[in-house]
A and B are shown apart, each in its own frame.
Chain A
């Protein structure tokens, strides 16, 4: 009798928890893979495609699916380190085959610049721009919206007359960084 009672009690408890878990798994189901969103947040969103994927989100998806973490050239070592932390894998050096142009050489942010007298209005750069930061129409001069340009380099190659170049943003007092070479102010005693 006692054994039967124990079986009934334990069985009913198991049934209750089973039902509860089953309900929770349906009710609180996570639709998207949250790791993809987290990875996407770490990537620099230049949408440059240097990793071989058409944008940052697709690369984030690929990394979540086991792609190498060292393909983001604009993000550099910093981004690789963060992705490694998130994914719990070893930090790898940047894959050099995914570096196009000289994006990784200088720290100063760069933006594309159209040499307007040379522009023939072919619209090829407009089609290449991942963030729609180039204005212009066929046979009309094109120009870059500096504030929207991510410096991804993608518009430079398609230009048939080489009138797009990457220029460093000038240093102003708004983006200037302090350095310790200036004379520290200290008080006499």
Chain B
């Protein structure tokens, strides 16, 4: 099979892929000029991610002086490709900046102020590849930051570290986009270096055949490559007919081998690896001279430029610097579109500060005559006339018009059925469309939507699993708790009944406690007896203990009395409590008072609301008005107590009480508003927060006297919580009012 393929290739008898177009060639703009080396720009903007995969960890910080070729990010993951300083200079910033992406979104970039000295870091080149193991070579490729330079930017070291048996290594020099000549000129000027790079790949992959595919519109490149491979029988230069999109991976494989890479499959599954010309050159640089990927050939073209040409651009060079170097003709209007990539697959840039990255092969600045559509603000799209030209040219043999209808209708199921994922977005269908429908844009939107949908589905699935897991866990915990309680109860019971020494101990303890209680009772009886008869000394309980118990009992009675008294006083007058509390320095008293105040506030507000409810006349809001004020006073009492006592705990308790009170108050007030239900009610509810806010501020003041930071934090949190409650209640009160009005 493979041999027959080779026979056909040697005869120059290639296969063909379905469809394709022949857009007018514009390569003559740049193809006859050598690649120009540019002077150093003043500043480079290097995006952290220039490939498919993940960002690396930044190794440098602002103000660091870096040397040319010094790594700026670190690769720990296989999908991370590091970036390097393209020249020596100082890191001036690491910040978000617009990147080369159709979205014009910002991404983290390293800004490098160029010092102009272009000093290299220490390099360790290797002239003899045979000395290096495959593992070393792959590590070097990974460390040099090489990603596919044809456009997709897939990490090269991942692509070349494979265990598959490789039949064909295909070097893609087709370059089918009508403007781009970067690979063409690179092959013409650097054919030997490219072939050295191919030899390194040969050593890594050990393919049976190496094919270098070049379209027949690049005679100088073909000649140079033939010369460079003259004494290497393994490498075959294949001259393929010019057609767009020959440079597509799947299309080129079909042309050369006749094999179709089926949907969802990778070329590697058929034993084929494809690499770009520029990637081969970069690999050679990295292995032989230890030069990481820091520059690339960029075609700067278009009829709006006075000097369209290919340039060696350092990665990170802003586009406007490149355009200056090639002398933009008609920059008089600011609407001059700048397209990155070719005219078929490229995208418009929103900013000329976008930097050159590893995958940028072309900057196109068309004139108005050249590409009128790029200047139009509104699309000239009209309805599809079902001519079917799009399906004739589709290289993936899809049905573009049906895809378009489904994409417009957002029918994702149908789009999947029509194999939208196989669309390579070559733009051939949009090119031939007589209705000027931007078909590829519809597909790109639909693809992004489907991708998002898949992510959402994945997330929903994960959420479901987590929800179920949580439910299971809660259930288990509940059962475990019940089990534990049951066991504990059973253990207690068993301990009571069993006659083990422990149980006996427990039993005896219980018995002892019982005995104590009995003795106490007896002594109490005796006490009452002694009140009349005095100590007769008949009891078996020692005298001292009796007196001690007596004093305790009397203390309890005194406390109860004090409590009663307080209650009475509180019922009489609010101000009395203040006096009582401040004069009395005992802690417990303060607590009791606070509790009473709380209860009273509750009662008051309740009473007020009830009263409102009963009377239901216009004077009710006034009563409601008074309630918060009076209650606020009450609320301030414990706070004052708290300030006088330096105890931390006290402050906390006071704050909690104040909080609870404020809550009750508000509730009462809002209830009152609700009940009265007349037009003046909103005013009342407006006042409530003010009064309550006063209350809220009291504990805060109390706590400022204590220097503890934590305290302040807690107070702030409490105040916040309270404010939230108030807001909620006030709004609910307002809602009620509005409803009633």
Question: Of B369, B379, B456, B460, which contacts A180 at CB under 8 A?
Answer: B379
Give the distance to chain A from B24, nearest Cβ to Cβ, in Å.
Answer: 7
How many A residues face the partner with a CB closer than 8 A? 36
Central interface residue in A132, A175, A188, by most chain B CB within 10 Å: A188
How many B residues face the partner with a CB closer than 8 A? 55
The answer to whether A186 and B431 have CB atoms under 8 Å apart is: yes
The answer to whether B105 and A173 have CB atoms under 8 Å apart is: yes
A161-B720 contact in complex given A131-B466, A187-B431, C-beta closer than 8 Å: yes
Q: Which of A169-189 contact B (CB under 8 A)?
A: 171-173, 175-180, 182-189
For chain B, what secondary structure do more than half of its interface residues adopt (helix, strand, loop), or is it mixed? helix
Q: Which of B547-603 contact A (CB under 8 A)?
A: none
CA distance A45 to B372 in the complex (A): 48
A18 is an interface residue with CB less than 8 A from chain B: no
Binding stretch for chain A, among B201-209, B438-446, B511-519: B438-446
Give the distance to chain B from A135, nearest Cβ to Cβ, in Å.
Answer: 13
CA distance A180 to B404 in the complex (A): 14
B452 is an interface residue with CB less than 8 A from chain A: yes
Which chain B residues lie closer than 8 Å to A185 at the CB level? 339, 343-348, 373-374, 427, 430
Give the distance to chain B from A86, nearest Cβ to Cβ, in Å.
Answer: 14
The answer to whether A188 and B371 have CB atoms under 8 Å apart is: yes
Give the distance to chain B from A110, nearest Cβ to Cβ, in Å.
Answer: 13
Central interface residue in B449, B461, B464, by most chain A CB within 10 Å: B464
CA distance A116 to B251 in the complex (A): 54
A178-B444 contact in complex given A55-B467, A160-B717, A185-B347, C-beta closer than 8 Å: yes
A161-B721 contact in complex given A55-B467, A183-B348, C-beta closer than 8 Å: yes
Central interface residue in B99, B436, B721, by most chain A CB within 10 Å: B721
The answer to whether A130 and B343 have CB atoms under 8 Å apart is: no
The answer to whether A120 and B714 have CB atoms under 8 Å apart is: yes
The answer to whether B105 and A148 have CB atoms under 8 Å apart is: no
The answer to whether B436 and A186 have CB atoms under 8 Å apart is: yes
For chain A, what secondary structure do more than half of its interface residues adopt (helix, strand, loop), or is it mixed? loop
A47 is an interface residue with CB less than 8 A from chain B: yes
Q: Which of B457-481 contact A (CB under 8 A)?
A: 459-464, 466-467, 469-471
CA distance A187 to B177 in the complex (A): 11
Which chain B residues lie closer than 8 Å to A130 at the CB level? 467, 470
A46-B463 contact in complex given A130-B470, A188-B371, C-beta closer than 8 Å: yes
Give the distance to chain A from B163, nearest Cβ to Cβ, in Å.
Answer: 30
List 10 tightest A-B contacts by C-beta distance, closest first: A186-B373, A45-B460, A184-B438, A160-B721, A131-B466, A176-B103, A183-B348, A45-B463, A178-B445, A178-B444
Interface residues of chain A, those whose CB is within 8 Å of chain B, are 40, 44-47, 55-57, 118, 120, 130-133, 148, 150, 160-162, 171-173, 175-180, 182-189
Given A173-B103, A177-B449, A180-B445, 19 new contacts (CB under 8 A)? A44-B460, A45-B463, A57-B464, A120-B713, A132-B466, A148-B463, A150-B459, A150-B460, A162-B721, A177-B445, A178-B441, A183-B348, A184-B379, A185-B348, A185-B373, A186-B438, A187-B24, A187-B178, A188-B373
